Structure 1
Amino acid sequence: MSTTPNLLTQKRFGPLFLTQFLGAFNDNIFKNALVLLVAFQSGKILGLDPAIVVQLAAGLFILPFFLFSAMAGQIADKFDKARVVRIVKFIEIGIAALALAGFAAQHVEFLLAALFLMGLHSTFFGPLKYSILPQHLHDDELVAGNAWVESGTFVAILLGSVLAGLFMAIKPEGPTIAGIACVIVAIAGYIASRSIPAAPPSAPDLKINLNPFSETVANIRMAWHSNGNRTVFHSLIGISWFWFYGAIFLSQFAPFVKTVLGGGELLVTALLATFIVGIALGSFLCERLSGKHVEIGLVPLGSIGLTVFGIDLWWASPATPPHIASVSGFMLDTANWRLLFDLVMIGVSGGFYTVPLYAMIQARSKPEERSRIIAANNILNAGFMVVSAAFAAGALAGGVTIPQIFLITALMNIAVAFYVYKLVPEFLMRFLCWLLVHSVYRVRAKGLEHIPDEGAAVLICNHVSYVDALIISAASRRPIRFVMDHNIFRIPLANFVFRENRAIPIAPAKEDPALLEAAYEEIAKALANGELIGIFPEGGITRDGEIAPFKGGIRKVLERTPVPVVPMALRGLWDSAFARKPGSSLLRAMRRGVWSSVELVVAPTVPPAEATPEALQQIVSTLRGDAR
């Protein structure tokens, strides 16, 4: 397995990363050079004012995402993705040549046509670059791969924007130089694409639907039904919302610096670089904190940061613009450090927010549908960005200041977060698990590969503390439905968390036989649906640290639905604050110190015919050893 730093050196990732980086780089050289050329025209263009032509250009670039994303997703699923990438990148050379002709002649009509075609190129490349990652990367590299792609894209945006400005400042050859650069970068991108390994088609028998409208509806419906519980679809909504949020900030950077901070073009670039450094930092922190698996528990952490630091950016903005002579003058004024910190942390929060969502969509989409679901994501992203532009324009026309737009967007983020996390409580559950294992415990897990990546299984473990289920959930790549005592399930406030995470309450036959039977029925139904069920066969938390005899419930579960059983053991929890050990939990916690070391050890699966309570207890006891 590859580590994050050397992933770029692997042929299965490095050429793809370089190809997508150069594509985003080229997009932004061309787009920004065109905008600068149009913006400084003194007369009308196509009978329109330059400001209107700039808006027209933005619309032309995004229009192909609406019209052709559905077709792009179908092509990426039907054909070898690496081959399609090479075709797309070869076509980019022709588009860049058209752009060069337009720049050399300063022919805006040619440039607008090239811009539309560049948007078409990006439309077809998007589903390819994201759907090819799960084919070339191991499961424990997927987050790292997305971190590289996400940070690389934003760095390419920054570098392309800066380089376009430098080129256009050269008079009068600047536009021609920008066009030549576009051709050179396109050729480099095509050369890089030729080293991408083959990525066989995931749906070779797919029939291409040429109707963009019906296929767009079909793609969104496919995303809606993917994974059976709407998690993928609502993740698409979450990513699209981030593009709304990010588009607000990126589009308002220049006017914010000019009208609120009193700075110039160089300060715009410096602050944009600060924001992008934050995104890159957040992306790689996300990969490190995820423990090499898709940790969607970081998504709520990212949401909190987007709101908190967005609000603080409004709060820290000066009421009247100061006169800033230079970038160094801005940096040396300690009053501005808070603004810089907010921008970095908004970027970091964005990395926490988007990288796990992209990785989860890739991991949980069916391979034969993955490209079309990513195409649906691109359509939604484009729609949210258009709404973002309309919202900003309407707000500014209504007299709202730019800092106030940042404030409103940050507050809107709260509403979106509640909406998404209410519909997909798994995000909040994973967040609680992540907080627990990164604030109270330092969990080391062994044998996680024995938990099946798909299909039904029963996970059994010794029961040491009140947080066993959270620790196991934090280590597992897949969601687990735990069976729990009905008295614990009904605890006020905690009941909401248990219900939202679909825990299954159970009671002894002598207390509530109807509830016991209902629990067995629900367990059987969940296993039939291919879910993971978590059971503590002792029937309660240990009172002396030792493993109590396993009860017969596990036998009844397997009689109804024979599935593999995954034995596991928790080690080192008996002296922790959340154990039922007599004495002060606070004193125990202080004695053990911060981040107590805990181990979760997982054994190979046991066939249902061999999974007797006695055999499973012996396996768990051996796994645990003497470490209570």
Structure 2
Amino acid sequence: MSQASQFSLLKQRRFAPFFWTQFLGAFNDNVFKTALLVILTYDAASWTSLDPAVLNSLIPGLFILPYVLFSATAGQIAEKVEKGRLARFVKMLEIGIMLVAGIGWMTHTLWLLIASVVGMGVHSTLFGPVKYAYMPQHLKSEELVGGNGVVEMGTFVGILLGQILGAALVLKSNGLLLVAGATMFFAVLGLVASYRIPLSPAPAPDLKINPNPFAESVRNIGHARKNRTVFLSMLGNSWFWFYGAMILSQFPLYAKEYLHGDYSVFVMLLTVFSVGVGVGSLLCEKLSGHKVEIGLVPFGSIGLSLFGIDLYFASLGYVRPPVEVEMMGMLAQAGVTRVLFDIAMIGVFGGLFIVPLFALIQTRCEPAHLSRTIGGMNIMNALFMIGAAGVAIVMIKMGFSIPEMFLATAILNAIVALYIFSLVPEFLMRFLAWMLIHTIHRVKTVDVDRIPEEGPAVLVCNHVSYVDAIVIGAASPRPIRFVMDHKIFKMPFMGWLFRTARAIPIAPAKEDQFLMEKAYIDIAQALHEGDLVCIFPEGRLTSTGELGEFRGGIAKIVERSKVPVIPMALRGLWGSLLTRDPGNLFERTFARGPRSRLALAVGTPVAPEDATPDYLHKQVLALRGDWK
């Protein structure tokens, strides 16, 4: 089934007004902040007697502070208030803040501008939970990854363009007036866009808001911890902001002191990184097959480490010019291409890392608690970014060079990733499955949307190879508990994978009566908890490629648990390396060639009272057809 491009969402009212509202907010934030930072760097004497370096560290911190203090409250408000109405209130608040900032610009009153920085931090804090809780209400599940990708792309592009425009405007002869006028104009434009946001009912309109933001923050994070996958996804998200803050915070000095470039070189580094994140975010939809594919998260993490490490070596190989150069001069320097490529790829793999995590949180979190979960995550993000600043300061005092800081961050990323993936093995399982079907095989799915996105069901499928479970798991929109022969379950390495995926081992009664009975109890428990369970009713791998007789285990399962049964068929796996094809191993491996084709066809659900072994056998055989 063909899928519309994620960019088609920008033509639809259910997405476009929301997108432009959030884009203009991120854009205007950065026009204002960058203009203030630049004017305090180049014309500090006419504004204050404070050290510009202190102000350049203070202002970003003041912007982040409201995230720590008010994110929990913002999450509660987003649960209680209709999101379109809340977005309009936030945009009106932005207009008021920019009015105060305009007075500060015109009167050279620094404290008004500092107060506006805090105000814009409050503005962003209030909009944060709306930003990610809005999409699950208006996008289909297969659109969530694409929608998140477009939003992340828009956010980073907005940040980049805002920084470029803010710096360009404020340095002109009438720059203060231009900045004041531009920020007011974009705030009004954001308000206009927000009026087109469709109705987005509050999930908890009767929620009583806790006035204590600290207690609410602890409660929200505690609630999120009950769902292990969601909480560790939140930690992964926050880690990305730590990694990004460690890298991006060093770009100004890296451009000036290490690359020996002027301000345009810093802008170039920022542009390359932002474009990379945008590209990676947009690639998620294509690489995920229009579903939430958390297998991309380890892939993104691997890229963050590999290219972070290579950025260190690329920096060592860079030939520093004898005099400070601008952007075009920088591009002529030996070794700069590798530096820029590494920065771009860090951005690309960052997008591949972050977008599936957002989509996972949106789909696995309780809808009535999503905004508060996002609010809790924003608190964690802010704390991780503050932690990144602290770590950077310690590294600098210890004598680390900037390339060495890049190297240390990349190595630390690998350690953190291994830790998180060891706690949630589903990430690693999905990654291995994703790699299998994007390298060795080309997998076509037929009617895979018949696999329910929630609720219990039993999947039955023909058993062709040792990787059947991985192929089926990769195509499913949610985790599956596989029932498999205890001998396969105990195989080296493959057995570790199956244990990691919480597979259920089973044995014939004549081999192990206790294990067989335990398997049926575990299956009933899994179905009672709302899981998907997949069995291979033939009871063993085929040795001929033909569909064997279905045993009676499925009848026992549906007799105990009255759930629908969904027939499926694998096509094209027979004869591959991991089958019991008796033919010559070398010949059949190379005869198929690289990227061999296979398919998974899903049939219509069968009511439990009709799910007899003979009937299901006919359904699976019809789905498979003549293609083994």
The answer to whether the 8 Å contact 1:127/1:375 transfers is: yes
Q: Specify the alignment match of 1:551 in structure 2.
A: 551
Q: 1:44: how far off?
A: 9.5
Work out which of the residue numbers 88, 91, 94 in structure 2 matches 1:89: 91
Counterpart of 2:54 in structure 1 is 52
**Equivalent pairs, count:** 624
Contact 1:45–1:53, Cα closer than 8 Å, also in 2 = no
Equivalences for 1:106-185 in 2 at 5 Å?
A: 106-171=108-173, 173-185=174-186
Contact 2:320–2:333 at 8 Å: present in 1 too? no
Distance 2:386 2:499 in 1: 37
Contact 2:295 2:431 in 1 (8 A): yes
The aligned residue for residue 211 of structure 2 is 210
**Matches of 1:586 and 1:430 in 2, distance apart?**
29
SS of aligned partner of 1:369: helix
- Secondary structure, counterpart of 1:533 in structure 2: strand
Contact 1:465–1:579 (CA under 8 A) maintained in structure 2: yes
In structure 2, the partner of 1:291 is 289
What is residue 66 of structure 1 aligned with on the other side? 68
- Alignment-mate amino acid for residue 102 of structure 2: L
| Offset of residue 531 of structure 1 | 0.7
Partner residue, 1:476: 476
Q: Which residue identity does 1:188 align to in structure 2? A: L
Answer with 580-589 or 175-184: which moved more.
580-589
Is the 1:300–1:427 Cα contact (8 Å) retained in structure 2? yes
SS at match of 1:368: helix
Query: Which residue is 2:581 aligned to?
Result: 581
Counterpart contact for 1:259–1:321, Cα < 8 Å: no
Q: Is the Cα contact below 8 Å between 2:47 and 2:109 reproduced in 1? A: no
Q: Where does residue 19 of structure 1 map in the other structure?
A: 21
Residues 448-467 of structure 1: matches in 2 within 5 Å?
Answer: 448-467=448-467
1:468 aligned partner, one-letter code: D
* Counterpart for residue 280 of structure 1: 278
Offset of residue 332 of structure 1: 3.1
Change (3 A) 1:403 1:92: same
- Give the 3-state SS of the residue equivalent to 2:367 in structure 1: coil
Moved more, 26-35 or 557-566: 557-566
TM-superposed deviation, 1:2? 3.8
Moved over 3 A (4+): 40-48, 318-321
Amino acid at match of 2:449: E
1:192 pairs with 2:193 = yes
Farther-moved stretch of structure 1 (37-46 vs 1-10)? 37-46
Rounded Cα–Cα distance in structure 2 between residues aligned with 1:61 and 1:459: 51
Q: What one-letter code is carried by the residue in structure 1 that aligns with 2:226?
A: H
Taking structure 1 as reference, are residues 104 and 470 closer, same or farther at Cα in structure 2, changes over 3 Å only? same
CA contact (8 A) 2:66 2:122 kept: yes
Q: Give the structure 2 partner of residue 31 of structure 1.
A: 33
Q: How far apart in 2 are the matches of 1:537 and 1:373? A: 41
Letter of the 1:222 partner, please give it. H
Distance in 1 of aligned mates of 2:443 and 2:257: 49
Match of 1:232 in 2: 230
Mean CA deviation greater in 143-152 or 34-43: 34-43
Aligned to 1:201: 202
Cα distance in 1 for residues equivalent to 2:205 and 2:612: 45
The secondary structure found in structure 1 opposite 2:67 is helix
Task: Supply the AA of the counterpart residue of 1:81.
Answer: K
Secondary structure of 1:580 counterpart: coil
Letter in 2 for 1:246: G
Structure 1: distance between partners of 2:586 and 2:155: 47
In structure 2, how many angstroms separate the alpha carbons of the residues matched to 1:356 and 1:373? Answer: 16
SS in 1 for 2:524: helix
1: CA distance, partners of 2:381 / 2:556? 48
Question: Which string of whole-angstrom CA distances, capped at 9 and with x for unpartnered residues, describes residues 567-596 of structure 1?
Answer: 111111113222211123342232122211
SS in 2 for 1:322: coil
Q: Which runs of 5+ in 2 are unaligned?
A: none
TM-score, normalisation: structure 1: 0.97
Counterpart of 1:100 (choices 96, 99, 102) is: 102
Distance 1:213 1:558 in 2: 49
CA distance in 1, matches of 2:417, 2:345: 18
The offset of 1:146, in angstroms, is 0.5
**Equivalent residues of 1:260, 1:318 under 8 A apart:** no
Q: Secondary structure at 1:409's aligned position in 2?
A: helix
CA contact (8 A) 2:7 2:150 kept: no
Aligned twin of 2:505:
505
Letter in 1 for 2:576: S
Tell me how far 1:42 sits from its aligned partner: 4.4
Task: Please give the alpha-carbon distance, in whole angstroms, between the structure 1 residues aligned to 2:157 and 2:91.
Answer: 20
Residue deviations 1:389-444 (CA, integer Å, cap 9, x gap): 11111111221111111000000001110111011100000001001101111111
Distance in 2 of aligned mates of 1:124 and 1:589:
57
Contact 1:43 1:49 in 2 (8 A): no
Secondary structure of the residue aligned to 2:258 is helix
- Cα RMSD after superposing both structures: 1.5
Cα distance in 2 for residues equivalent to 1:497 and 1:333: 48
Give the structure 1 partner of residue 302 of structure 2.
Answer: 304
Letter in 1 for 2:607: P
Aligned residues of 2:76 and 2:371 also touching (Cα < 8 A):
yes
Shift of 1:606: 1.0
How far does the alpha carbon of each residue in 1:188-242 deviate from its partner, in whole angstroms, 9 at most, with x for none? 000011111111111122111111011101111121123xxx1010000001000
Question: What is the CA distance between 1:55 and its match in structure 2?
Answer: 2.1
SS in 2 for 1:53: helix
1:208 partner letter: I
Q: 1:619 and 1:403 mapped to 2: Cα distance?
A: 60
| Paired residues of 1:106 and 1:175 also in contact (CA < 8 A) | no
Determine the C-alpha separation between the residues in 1 that align with 2:203 and 2:395.
45
- Report what 1:423 is aligned to: 423
Q: Distance in 2 between matches of 1:55 and 1:465?
A: 58
User: Does the CA-based 8 Å contact 1:41-1:50 persist in structure 2?
Assistant: no
Within-5 A mapping of 1:436-451: 436-451=436-451
Deviation at 1:499, TM superposition (A): 1.5
Q: CA deviation at 1:364?
A: 1.1
Matches of 1:588 and 1:203, distance apart in 2: 59
Residue 105 of structure 1: CA displacement? 1.3
* Alpha-carbon shift at residue 45 of structure 1 (Å): 6.8
1:223 has 2:224 as partner: yes
Distance in 1 (CA, whole Å) between partners of 2:276 and 2:268 is 12
State the SS of the aligned residue for 1:132: helix
Once the two structures are superposed, residues 583-628 of structure 1 have per-residue CA deviations (whole angstroms, 9 ceiling, x without a partner) of 2334223212221111111111111111111111111111111111
SS at match of 2:335: helix
Which range moves more in the overlay, 4-13 or 189-198?
4-13
SS state at 1:459 partner: strand
The amino acid of 2:32's aligned partner reads F
Letter paired with 2:279? L
Aligned partner letter, 1:539: G
Q: How does 1:243-254 map to 2 (within 5 A)?
A: 243-254=241-252
**1:452-472: CA deviation from partner (whole Å, max 9, x where unpaired):** 111111111011111111111
After alignment, is 421-430 or 440-449 more displaced?
A: 440-449
Secondary structure of the 2:484 match is: strand
Instruction: Tell me the TM-score normalized by structure 2.
Output: 0.97
| 1:257-284 superposed Cα distances (whole Å, 9 cap, x missing partner) | 1111111111111121111111111111
Name 2:369's counterpart in structure 1. Answer: 369
Contact in 1 for aligned 2:572/2:599 (Cα 8 Å): yes
1:44–1:50 contact (8 Å) kept in structure 2: no
Equivalence for 2:82: 80
8 Å CA contact retained: 1:66, 1:382: yes
How far apart are the structure 2 equivalents of 1:488 and 1:543? 15
Note the C-alpha offset of 1:48: 3.7
User: Tell me, which stretches of 5 or more residues in structure 1 are unaligned?
Assistant: none
Deviations 1:546-583 (A, max 9, x none): 11111111111222222111111111111322221112
Amino acid at match of 1:379: I
Cα deviation per residue 1:302-325 (whole Å; 9 max; x = unaligned)? 010000000000111137733353
SS in 2 for 1:317: helix
Q: Tell me if the contact between 1:37 and 1:175 (Cα under 8 Å) persists in the aligned partners.
A: no
